[in-house]
Amino acid sequence: MKTSSDIYVRRRIEAITGLMALGFALLAIRAVDLQWLQADKLQQLAENQRQREFSISAPRGPILDTQGRVLAESIQVPSISAIANEVPPGRIVDLAKALGMQKSQLTQRLRGRHGFIWLARQISPDTAKTVMALNISGVRQEMEWRRYNPLGPATGHLLGFVGVDGRGLEGLEYSMDAQLAGLPGRMQVRRDARGISLPGGAWLTQPKMGRRVSLYLDATIQSLVYAALADGVRIQSAKGGSVVVMRPGDGAVLAMASWPGFNPNDFHRYRPSQWRNRAVTDVFEPGSVLKPFAVAAALETGRWRKESRIFCENGHFRVADYVIHDDHSEGWLDMTGVLARSSNICAAKLALDVGPERLHHLLEKVGLGSRTGIGLSGESPGILPPAERWGPVETATIAFGQGVAITPLQLATAFSVLVNDGMYVSPKIIRGRTHGEPYRAIPKKIARVVMRMLVHAASPEGTGALAVPAGYRVAGKTGTAQKPDGHGSYAKEKFTAVFVGAVPADAPQLIIAVMVDEPQRSIYGGKVAAPIFRHIAAAALPYLGVSPHRANHDWRSMSVASQDLSRPETGDALPSLYRRSLREVRKLASASGYQLHVHGSGWVMRQKPVALSHMEPGDVLEVWLDD
């Protein structure tokens, strides 16, 4: 007979056996689940632990000048990253010191973070070497692409810059981002049990460099333009200025510079307001440089001829309730004299005779009031009020450049119409870009007559005499305009000084438009902007192979002369020393007999005089250098 204790033991054994059987059954089910049902998923998880895929950025395409010289390129630089939760707290002080950061700043960046984090991006190789020598757990070096502009501030406004993420943010880098940006690649690397990457790896997709962008810009002319503009602005204690240099005929922009500049290699040190390309974004009232177009409109009516004479009212002329003044009291002037003496009153009389519709139509045809389509971001269309809003006062004042606003690029483009026998040619700076077809804006005969008048305007009898470099003739026009005060009137002490011209006048090779904003020592375009024009022309023309007193060839047949500053030559062949080494400058000065005055070290950023074409042995050559 079984006792109660035997029954209890047997039931315990049965219960344990049942539990064991259930456990084995669950293990079997789990084994089936792991081995068959979840096999692919678990294998993928294991692979993810053993290997990792990385996105590898691609270099942007280079930007080249007209001779294939690099204006912007991507170079590899080190960056420092970390796995935030793996950085030992005790090493933060050493790490912060090596990175040039405050301990509190680095602590705040790491606090509460897990996984990958950037500590310092695109730093110097020396800094990266110092950091990696500390051998801190979780800290590693990555290689990234950084944009570098060899000419620095000289091309800052035009080319713009690229952010740390490799995207263009300003200038051509922004407007051409889709073409310049490369395609990132992906790489797979294997890791050990501790998660440390093993040597080697396999490319899943190779990174692809962006496409190159070639410009019509000439690096040498750009450099000397930037230096001449900087000197001119400083001499006049002006607020700033812009210059556009264009080749007539095809509209190629060889240089475009603004001052003050900024260095795109270190753009974060500047305010956003300093980044914009003011040669295409900022507008100004052009003043008397519009008078040639008022004369052209008058000649086009057939009622006026080159020999026609106009009474200039001895310096005072009333239109409605507005009195127009001339700086110099004049009596009777012919049409050439109107431009040479820059009479506001005569220009106003011509415009009133022509009428608002006809003058507006001509200004519109030469490109005022619309974007040129050059392909630069932020381009302004300027301001050209519709003709129906022109009363007698507006018609009169627009004839001498008040009441309209243009960009320096629009000014150069409009002037090119006169140079090109009346044909409008769209300006261009990006090679391979489609532009509008040329069209006739002014009759050929009238454009040629006005050009001959403009030679007198830049003669000793005209207001542009200081624009003429020795050995050349210039066809050009000065402009001086009061700046609007923002309250419907004009500021009494704020002016823009302008000069635009073509050189050599007989067969123009260059159109140069110069605008100086708020000069202080003088306000007149003939004294402020014209000398800048002269310095640029005197340096650029010999570089382009156009010697003094040789102005009778067609500009299209001229070849660009190569220039080698590494060998001693006379100053005639050396328009600019910009970005040259001190060694090269000393060699030149020694060979030419110049007295050399040096400021700073590194590479030439500025020189005086701007043009070396008329220096003699014993003259002083002064250069400013900057690393």
Catalytic residue set: 288
Q: Which residue has the tokens 């899943």?
A: 204
For residue 184 the two structure tokens come to: 């990132």
For residue 165 the two structure tokens come to: 């993420």
Closest CA to 195 of 93, 85, 110: 85
C-beta of residue 60 within 8 angstroms of C-beta of residue 162: yes
Closest CA to 265 of 150, 181, 123, 171: 150
- How far, in Å, CA of 184 to CA of 77, rounded? 17
Q: For the purposes of burial, counting CB atoms within 10 Å of the CB of 443, is it exposed (0-12), middle (13-18) or buried (19 or more)?
A: middle
Closest CA to 430 of 251, 554, 266, 288: 251
Cα of 186 vs its chain's centroid, Å: 33
CB atoms closer than 10 angstroms to residue 419:
25
Residues 6+ apart with CB under 8 A from 440: 422, 423, 424
- How far, in Å, CA of 332 to CA of 337, rounded? 9
CA atoms within a 13 Å half-sphere pointing along the CA-CB vector of 282: 21
- How far, in Å, CA of 216 to CA of 218, rounded? 6
What are the start-end ranges of the E strands in 165-209? 185-190, 202-205
Helices and strands: H and E segment counts in the chain: 19, 22
Closest CA to 372 of 513, 564, 224, 228: 513
DSSP secondary structure letter of residue 120: E
Residues 6+ apart with CB under 8 A from 9: none
Helix (H, G, I), strand (E, B) or coil at 518: coil
Cα of 609 vs its chain's centroid, Å: 25
Helix (H, G, I), strand (E, B) or coil at 324: strand
Cα of 513 vs its chain's centroid, Å: 16
Q: At what angle do helices 125-133 and 92-99 cross, to 10 degrees?
A: 170
C-beta of residue 497 within 8 angstroms of C-beta of residue 473: no
For residue 279 the two structure tokens come to: 């040669």
Q: Which residue has the tokens 């912060």?
A: 96
- How far, in Å, CA of 403 to CA of 78, rounded? 53
Q: Which residue has the tokens 């396999």?
A: 202
Q: Residue length, the chain?
A: 627
DSSP per residue, 247-262: ETTTTEEEEEEEES--
Q: At what angle do helices 356-365 and 392-399 cross, to 10 degrees?
A: 40
What are the start-end ranges of the E strands in 135-259? 139-148, 185-190, 202-205, 213-214, 240-247, 252-259
Closest CA to 415 of 328, 515, 277: 515
Cα of 172 vs its chain's centroid, Å: 7
